[in-house]
Amino acid sequence: MPSAPEIAGASHLHSGKVRDLYELPDGHLLMVASDRISAFDYVLDTEIPDKGEILTRMSLWWFDQLSGLVSNHIVSTEVPDLVRGRAVVCERLEMYPVECVARGYLTGTGLIDYRTYGEVCGIPLPAGLQDGSRLPEPIFTPATKAALGEHDQNVDYETVAEQVGDDAAAELRMLTLAVYGKAEAIARERGILLADTKLEFGRRADWTTVLADEVLTPDSSRFWPADQWQPGRSQPSYDKQIVRDWLLSPESGWDRASGEAPPSLPDEVVDRTRSRYIEAYELLTGETW
């Protein structure tokens, strides 16, 4: 994984799969979105040009749409020139150790769990659902946060309550489903289905729950073209499914079970992925990249 850039006046704290985190002299944090892309819990050695800026601008747009629903961690978009456009100044929060996932459609790890157990995260679902089926109602399907290189694990609601307490768990579930509900309606108006999304929350010293990290981007969500939705198959998407599909294809030569890192992405996959991210940004925000 490429090293985080040195930024004058900021101390590097941590690098995740995509974002680099720094501490500023006033105690706030500088969060920088790189062009790195991850798949199957690996950070690939190929970057997607402009991806960090697309994610940042999309998150800021969504934070504005959700401002009446939940507080967010953004303090300022005035950042050093080196990372302008791909970074924000944000609050330092105590983050909840839970990936808060809302699903309105069945796919991904939810589909795997459903086929195995007939339920997802302890929530029973009707028989006969297929890949891409719309669920009777959106469900809260949390996961544990895994270290870099390890897999997040789906857990039931009771596990979350044991980790963070009953009141906090109830609030996280309520906010996650509320955010999904509003975002799903906004996306649907623009011809996009929001299949699922992963949110992260933290809390301030006064225990206010705050929406943090990125929000409703192609990295944290599955967006599908509404006019191409067809349950029973893998759906065309505006996210990094292009990368996942290529890695799993014979063309890549990669054996996921081998434990070896994935290969570099060909230019054609990079270009298609970048185009899909831009298309999602433009369709959702109405802005031209």
- The pLDDT tens digits for 62-121 are 999 999 999 999 999 999 999 999 999 999 999 999 999 999 999 999 999 999 999 999
Write out pLDDT tens, residues 46-67.
999 999 999 999 999 999 999 9
Assess whether 163 and 74 both reside in one domain. no
Determine the average pLDDT of the residues in 12-40.
95
Q: Is residue 289, in this structure, part of any structural domain at all?
A: no
What are the backbone angles phi and psi of residue 150, rounded to the nearest 5°? -110, 165
Determine the average pLDDT of the residues in 31-37.
96
The domain boundary, picked from 90, 120, 147, lies at 90
Assess whether 114 and 211 both reside in one domain. yes
Q: Is residue 241, in this structure, part of any structural domain at all?
A: yes
The domain boundary, picked from 90, 122, 154, lies at 90
pTM of the model: 0.93
* Residue 289, both tokens: 């990249």
Assess whether 248 and 169 both reside in one domain. yes
Assess whether 86 and 211 both reside in one domain. no
Letter for the amino acid at 164?
A: V
Assess whether 247 and 111 both reside in one domain. yes
Is the pLDDT confidence value at 20 over 90? Answer: yes
Give the pLDDT score at 153: 87
Mean pLDDT of the chain: 94
What's the domain count of the chain? 2
- Structural domain range at position 71: 11-90
CA–CA distance from 233 to each of 6, 229, 230, 244 (Å)?
A: 45, 9, 7, 15
Assess whether 70 and 119 both reside in one domain. no
Assess whether 209 and 119 both reside in one domain. yes
